[in-house]
Amino acid sequence: MTPKVVAIVGATGLVGNRMLQMLEERDFPVKSIKFLASERSRGKTLTFRGETVEVEVLAEDSFKGVEIALFSAGGGTSKKFAPCAAKDGCVVIDNSSAWRMDPDVPLVVPEVNADDIKWHKGIIANPNCSTIQLVVVLKPIHDAAKIERVVVSTYQAVSGAGIKALQEMRDQIIAVLENREPVCKIFPHPIAFNCIPQIPQSDAFTANGYTSEEMKMVDETKKIMGDESIRVTATTVRVPVHTGHSESVNIETQHKLTAAKAREILSLAPGVVVLDDPANQIYPLACDAAGKGETFVGRIREDISQSRGLDLWIVADNLLKGAALNAVQIAELL
């Protein structure tokens, strides 16, 4: 691959930092790199391949000469600056929800729909973290037996809400253990020793009773899989885990698929690792998935309540495959 001029927008955040890490670990051909962030990060420095690089304040003219920009700075920032980058000839890979459902913007998970990259017009969307790990597992099953319906419940790590949310969880855990009242600033309720069925924490519920996170999973799954006929329902829950999203998934297929056949199919699927030996207490765990790029699946069993159903347990690092790694994989395909 020809070395590229690369920029990371939101470089000082959790995901931005992981993007930097993935570029290094995967030996992405970087000719030069720019780190861009808000005014709050002015003067900060980051290290890339042993060299110290100063963080620049993001501006409309920041992308002149940049060939690929990885964005992880929120939807408002992406809406404002991604078109500026594309206008200057840069290809944007955006981690926010700003462009995901735009019909002119590909929404890509490389293991699932890599060919969609070909029709980009300067912006490519990185899907929601929970959607990514879901579709990586669903796609090979869909190809084999055609999925008709998906019911997914998520158990999402606090790191998905950012650095301040992680600190709030730590402070709350200490407060509870010291018999003090936990203080809530980021979350609407204590996250320490608790589960909150509302993601994102700042959004009101939509008119249909779902959260925006749940509707992201519904809409994005259909777009990535390229099949609007798949019926999807989701319940997303924040749990007091540092890193690693877990999902309980029930699927109904058009054609009968045994658990054994599903294991065989998934064991050959790109980016998927099957950990499924319940007799020996082997199944995916968030603490084991943290720091790894694969999507892990286990507890594969036939649904006893319907003849063409399967139950699955899916786990992945939400900051890596759920965000930074997927974005860098898209850049590699470019």
**Average pLDDT by consecutive 10-residue portion of the chain (334 residues)?**
93 94 96 93 92 94 96 94 96 96 98 97 97 98 98 97 96 98 96 96 87 96 97 98 98 97 98 97 97 98 97 98 98 95
Taking CA atoms, 257 is separated from 39, 231, 260, 261, 298, in Å, by 54, 18, 8, 6, 16
The arrangement of strands across the sheet holding 68-71 comes to: 45-48, 51-57, 30-37, 4-9, 68-71, 91-94, 123-125
Tokens, residue 89? 């000839």
Residue 245 falls in the annotated catalytic set:
yes
pLDDT at position 21, please? Answer: 96
In this prediction, residue 153 carries a pLDDT of 98
Annotated catalytic residue: which of 184, 245, 255, 287?
245
The Cα–Cα gap between 320 and 144 comes to: 27
Q: What is d(CA 294, CA 125) in angstroms, rounded to the nearest whole number?
A: 20
Catalytic residue among 84, 90, 120, 129: 129
CA distance 11 to 20: 8
Look at the alpha carbons of 228, 198, 299, 151 in this order and tell me if their dihedral is positive or negative: negative
Contact present, 244 and 112 (Cβ < 8 Å):
no
Place of tokens 């060939």: 67
**What pLDDT, on the 0 to 100 scale, is given for residue 202?**
75
Catalytic residue flag (residue 287): no
Strand 245-253 versus strand 309-316 pairing type = antiparallel
- Is the distance from CB of 237 to CB of 156 less than 8 angstroms? yes
The amino acid at 142: H
Structure-token pair, residue 57: 């304040």
